[in-house]
């Protein structure tokens, strides 16, 4: 009672007070401003469970994080790097690419300036990547499979560009690859508690020693939540936008 915590909400975060199952809380990390720490729980839980539990990321694996400058991407890049992967990511424009590279990405591709598929294959000597973490959704499905290595794993976690896409089953089968779609919010309280326990054990030490840090684009007053949403809709935010009561 009284200890500062951060939490993984089931929804309803636009509020001054929220009720959360105790197992979905984490102690506020040392050395991180409490408000900035609010940028971590959902992004860290999403990145951890999808990279580790679903994609089975191993040290030395080549991972492509699509949207490395987004709220999930900035955490996924840092986490994959800390886990020993070779990290390839995308961002829009030279400035955002440079900032993502500072987070630890080995290769950053400007998706506004060229063919992402070709750039990924060039960066991997034609082999492709072992893991794709995708926030774009259906329209990116075909290209994502093209970028997979033999035995590669595509994990779809977002629908920014739509729900439907085209999949070449022959290519997927030839590569013995897999496509998995996941959503954190729809998981049970017990599943969320298990993810939080793993994050506390494995990721919170990375926050403590500086290998992973929150990336906050802006703090916006709760009353101006519509301004925060516009930042996200226009792709202007780098990292997280926080609503502050």
pLDDT value, residue 161: 83
Reference 181, options 160, 158, 161; nearest CA is: 158
Task: Please report the pLDDT score of residue 133 as a whole number.
Answer: 98
What are the backbone dihedrals phi and psi of residue 201, each rounded to the nearest 5 degrees, phi first? -75, -40
Continuous H helices in the chain: 34-37, 41-48, 73-82, 94-102, 116-123, 141-146, 169-174, 189-202, 204-208, 225-233
* Per-residue confidence (pLDDT) for residue 54, from 0 to 100: 97
Tell me the mean pLDDT per 10 residues along the chain, length 245.
92 88 95 95 97 98 97 97 98 96 97 93 97 93 96 94 90 97 94 98 97 97 95 91 94
Q: Does residue 68 contact residue 100 with C-beta atoms inside 8 Å?
A: yes
Distance CA 68, CA 78 (A): 10
Write the pLDDT tens digit of every residue in 193-208.
999 999 999 999 999 9
The pLDDT value given to residue 175: 97
What's the confidence (pLDDT) of residue 36? 97
Tell me the C-alpha distance between 4 and 8, whole Å.
14
Separation CA 52–CA 73 (nearest Å): 15
């Amino acid at each position: 009672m009284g200890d500062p915590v951060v939490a993984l909400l089931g929804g309803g975060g636009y509020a001054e007070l929220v009720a959360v199952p105790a197992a979905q809380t984490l102690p506020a990390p040392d050395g991180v401003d409490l408000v900035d720490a609010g940028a971590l729980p959902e992004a860290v839980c999403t990145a951890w469970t999808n990279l580790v539990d679903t994609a089975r990321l191993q040290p030395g694996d080549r991972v492509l994080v699509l949207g490395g400058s987004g709220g999930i991407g900035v955490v996924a890049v840092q986490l994959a790097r800390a886990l020993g992967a070779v990290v390839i990511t995308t961002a829009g424009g030279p400035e955002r690419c440079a900032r993502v590279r500072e987070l630890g990405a080995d290769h950053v591709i400007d998706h506004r300036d060229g063919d992402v598929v070709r750039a990924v294959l060039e960066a991997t000597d034609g082999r492709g990547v072992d893991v794709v973490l995708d926030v774009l959704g259906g329209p990116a499905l075909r290209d994502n499979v093209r970028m997979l290595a033999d035995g590669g794993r595509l994990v779809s976690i977002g629908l920014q560009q739509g729900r439907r896409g085209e999949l070449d089953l022959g290519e997927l089968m030839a590569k013995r690859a897999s496509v998995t779609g996941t959503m954190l919010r729809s998981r049970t309280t017990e599943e969320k508690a298990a993810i939080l326990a793993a994050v506390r054990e494995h990721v919170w030490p990375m926050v403590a020693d500086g290998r992973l840090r929150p990336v906050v684009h802006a703090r916006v007053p709760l009353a101006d939540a519509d301004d925060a949403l516009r930042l996200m809709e226009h792709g202007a935010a780098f990292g997280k936008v926080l609503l502050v009561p």
